[in-house]
Amino acid sequence: MCEFCIDKQKQTNMKKIILFSLALLGLAQIADAQATSSANQNVALSLSNAIAITFVSSGTSTGGTVSIPFNTVSDYTNGVTSSTEQLKVQSNKNFNVSIQSSSTNFSYSGSTTPAPIMQIASVLQFLVSANNTGGSLSYTSYASVPSGMGTIINWGSPGGNQTFSVTYKANPGFSFPAGTYTANIIYTATQP
């Protein structure tokens, strides 16, 4: 037989072997595909409304004591402004923030007897000095701290780091004796 014919026969045989191998591989994949199984299930998230308000400095719902010292005649004449306190609201819905004092009067610690009575609303004011909550402010200048709940931020946006800052200004005048006057100020965040 001629050499050309032998090479042609080898090529034909090689093509048949390759086609046969590909056919076997395809059958193996089909057989393998038929050996599958699947299962599925639903995953249901049960979300509840959640809200928290904390002081950034402490990371808790209790902030540090804000000290407002009165040392000079100018302090008594003009009042004294505190350092800034920052609070954070975390909420999965829109929210409002309110402020109030826990009592009508400051508590007094000092040597004067009987203890003087200083009303919080007539001496202590607050200002929301920074608002990163997405909500609108009820007050844009200093306002008296109310003894009943007063809304200060309306319709804050949902989020995990909605912050606002507050400063206090006290002006007791010259009518009160020396001593320490303390008031507990409460901030409440609510989802309407």
- CB neighbour burial string for 131-143, b if at least 16 within 10 angstroms, e if fewer: bbbebebbbeebb
Q: Are residues 178 and 101 in the same domain?
A: yes
pLDDT band at 40 (very low <50, low <70, confident <90, very high): very high
Per-residue pLDDT reduced to its tens digit, 102-145 = 999 999 999 999 999 999 999 999 999 999 999 999 999 999 99
Tokens of 13: 């045989």
Residue 44 lies in a domain: no
Do the Cβ atoms of 84 and 157 come closer than 8 Å? Answer: no
Q: Which domain holds residue 116?
A: 51-190
Task: Please tell me whether residues 18 and 106 are part of one structural domain.
Answer: no
164: nearest Cα among 112, 114, 95: 95
The string over 61-97, giving b where at least 16 C-beta atoms fall within 10 Å of a residue's C-beta and e elsewhere, is: eebeeeebebeeeeebeebbbbeebbbbbbbeeebbb
- 12 and 101 co-located in one domain: no
- Comparing CA positions, the residue from 32, 25, 18, 66 lying closest to residue 187 is 66
CATH number reported for the structural domain that contains residue 104 in this entry: 2.60.40
Give the percent of the chain with pLDDT over 90.
Answer: 80
69/84 Cα distance (integer angstroms): 15
The CA distance from 74 to 97, in Å, is 34
Domain count, the chain: 2
Q: Are residues 30 and 71 part of one domain?
A: no
Query: For residue 187, what are its two tokens?
Result: 């901030």
pTM surpassing 0.85? no
Please give the Cα distance from 153 to 98 (Å, whole number): 7
Q: Which tens digit of pLDDT belongs to each residue from 138-176?
A: 999 999 999 999 999 999 999 999 999 999 999 999 999
